[in-house]
Structure 1
Amino acid sequence: MNKKALILFAHGARAASWAEPFERLRGITQARLADVDVSLAFLELMSPRLPERVAELAAAGVAEVAVVPVFLGQGGHVLRDLPLMLDELRAAYPAIRFSVAEAVGENPAVLNAIADYCIGTVAGAPPGG
């Protein structure tokens, strides 16, 4: 069987509470992808960092890794740092096939969901539903 993994790649912060929404996102995503290992990895300040997480997945025999940058925009981290990291990971783990999605904030469906939330706050609807 071809083992697959999905890494939600976030910036990281000094405050542990900052990761809470990303942990919830990971849990929601994992519940919908039972056959895929869904995890978080961070650019800096938090663990695991992306290279650490990929090393764990490689040791577990994962053959495909999809990376989703959970950033609202494609700033320097997504445009410069992430491609460099992925080049290094591809060289270190040639047996793993890596794919990278656009930053979540660049996706029209995500932007529409955020807009719906914002509109709901003005319209008097309770946030979140």
Structure 2
Amino acid sequence: MTHDRAVVLFGHGARDPAWAQPMERVRDTLRALAPELGVELAFLEFLAPTLDEAIDALVAHGARRIVIVPMFIARGGHLKNDLPKLVAAACERHPGCEIVQVLAVGEAEPVVAAMASYARQCAMEGDG
């Protein structure tokens, strides 16, 4: 299936493949909510696919705009240094494609609100 627009959910990665399960759930949920989007996971290290592999696959399937959503709580060294270099290299490989990096998911206002709501719910459990 071809998708003009796509999302890459980008995570750090871990040696334990089970670490990726929450990201897989987000991917599957996003695919169900927006079947018109191409949606892939990518990891900085330890897990596959890499960001290069995910972007190359999406472009091969027709993506012309790819949004990279860092699945990090905050913007640290990987998002300030490593990811912009990877994005720049991908843009050079695919000059006809717009590839953009957005805020770390944990810095997005709806996610901050959801985390606060969850913390409140945990604190309030048992009241009633």
Residues 81-119 of structure 1 deviation map (CA, whole Å, 9 limit, x = unaligned)? 000001111111101111221001111221110111111
Secondary structure in 1 matching 2:18:
helix
Give the alignment of 1:1-129 within 5 angstroms. Answer: 3-124=4-125
Tell me if the contact between 1:2 and 1:64 (Cα under 8 Å) persists in the aligned partners: no
So what's the TM-score if we normalise by structure 2?
Answer: 0.92
Secondary structure in 1 matching 2:39:
strand
Q: CA deviation at 1:2?
A: 6.8
Tell me if the contact between 2:3 and 2:37 (Cα under 8 Å) persists in the aligned partners: no
Q: CA deviation at 1:61?
A: 2.2
Give, as a single letter, the amino acid of the residue that structure 2 aligns with 1:46: L
C-alpha distance 4-60 of structure 1, shift in aligned 2 (>3 A): same
Q: Which runs of 5+ in 1 are unaligned?
A: none
Q: Tell me how far apart the structure 2 counterparts of residues 44 and 90 of structure 1 sit (CA, whole Å).
A: 20
Secondary structure in 1 matching 2:92:
helix
Give, as a single letter, the amino acid of the residue that structure 1 aligns with 2:73: L
Q: Which runs of 5+ in 2 are unaligned?
A: none
Give, as a single letter, the amino acid of the residue that structure 1 aligns with 2:25: R
Secondary structure in 2 matching 1:67:
strand
Q: How many residues align?
A: 125
Between 54-63 and 25-34, the greater mean CA deviation after superposition: 54-63
User: Once superposed, which parts of structure 1, at least 4 consecutive aligned residues long, lie more than 2 Å away?
Assistant: none
Q: Tell me how far apart the structure 2 counterparts of residues 46 and 2 of structure 1 sit (CA, whole Å).
A: 24
